[in-house]
Structures are given as structure tokens and as C-alpha cells.
A and B are shown apart, each in its own frame.
Chain A
Amino acid sequence: RKEVEQDPGPFNVPEGATVAFNCTYSNSASQSFFWYRQDCRKEPKLLMSVYSSGNEDGRFTAQLNRASQYISLLIRDSKLSDSATYLCVVNSMRDMRFGAGTRLTVKP
């Protein structure tokens, strides 16, 4: 089993749609969680941290379920500029592991 698993997609959605990405992790000792965004041929950049209580940043909402070892990202009112690959990242004291990424394409 992979340490961090994501649905690779691709997700192709129209502008204005709501889309959700899921991520599961295997290390129960994981301590912190993030969603990164990676544009084509660019380095990953932090989109948002994920907190146990859930957190929202504009159109983006992240959720963490430690019992199920599950993280989610919800994007509302999708924009063309949201087209990218979204990477789930799981930190432990020992290392930082990435999922394979979920590719999103938002179409007009």
C-alpha cells in the first residue's frame, strides 16, 4: 500500500463547478497535512494547510479525518485558473510524503 494515495483523475469540470479531491494516508503517526498546487513544469507551491477542525480559504475548503486517515480538498465555483495538479502532502517527524497528485482541468 502506498503511504499517500490520491485519485489521479483527471478531473475535467466546467467553470463554476464544485470539485472534491480525496487523499488517504497510511502512517497513523503523521502530524501535519497540506495541499500543494503544481502547475505544469513548475515546482509545487503550498495551497493550504489542513487542520483537524477543517479550514477554509475563500473557495477552498480542507478537511482532515484522523480516525479514517483521510484528507479532502473542496473547490467551489471553479475558475479556469484552478487548472493544475493538486498534491496531498503528509508530514511526520521523520519525513514528508507526497501523493501522486490529482490533475484538474477547468473548461469554459
Chain B
Amino acid sequence: QQQVKQSPQSLIVQKGGISIINCAYENTAFDYFPWYQQFPGKGPALLIAIRPDVSEKKEGRFTISFNKSAKQFSLHIMDSQPGDSATYFCAASQLTGGGNKLTFGTGTQLKVEL
């Protein structure tokens, strides 16, 4: 199975709070795990990505935690801001034939309230 399961479907967080989005995958051959942010009417934009040899990666307010044995990874957004309100997608891929086709989760609609 090539699925990536994402939860929650929607999330409301107060300004300054921590937003947490979780994903689980089945294919142990996946070796690249990016997170994308999408605003209405726009294409997905790469936020942060991790490879399975690392358990955590932090870039500014965004952190990916990765648990290889549980086949799970999560996105933490610290000090959430109204401008972070968007849809977030986790994804996974396996490098095959020189390519990198992505399998996406179903997305999480994040709303950050004042």
C-alpha cells in the first residue's frame, strides 16, 4: 500500500499556541518526507522535509518529528500565527528511476485564531 494517512482533518489553534499534525505511512521503502503548505487558489509550497536517518528537524517555528519504527511523522508549528492559517499536507516518496513521485496525505485545514 502506498497510502499516507493524515490527521486531524481540521485544527483550530489560538494565536501563540502549538499546532500539531500527524501522519503515518505504510511503505517502508519511503525515504523522503516533506510537508507542504497550501493557501486557497495557490499551489503547495514546500515547508520542511526530513529523511529517515534523522529523528527531528527544525527550521524556524516549524519542526518535523520522525519515528521510523512506528512509521509516523509529525509537524509542529510553534507560536502559531494567523498567517499560518492554511492547508497542510504531509507527503512521502521513494526515489525510483531517478524520480521522486510524492504520495500525499489528505490534508489538514489549520485555522489560527486571535
Q: Are A and B associated in one complex?
A: no
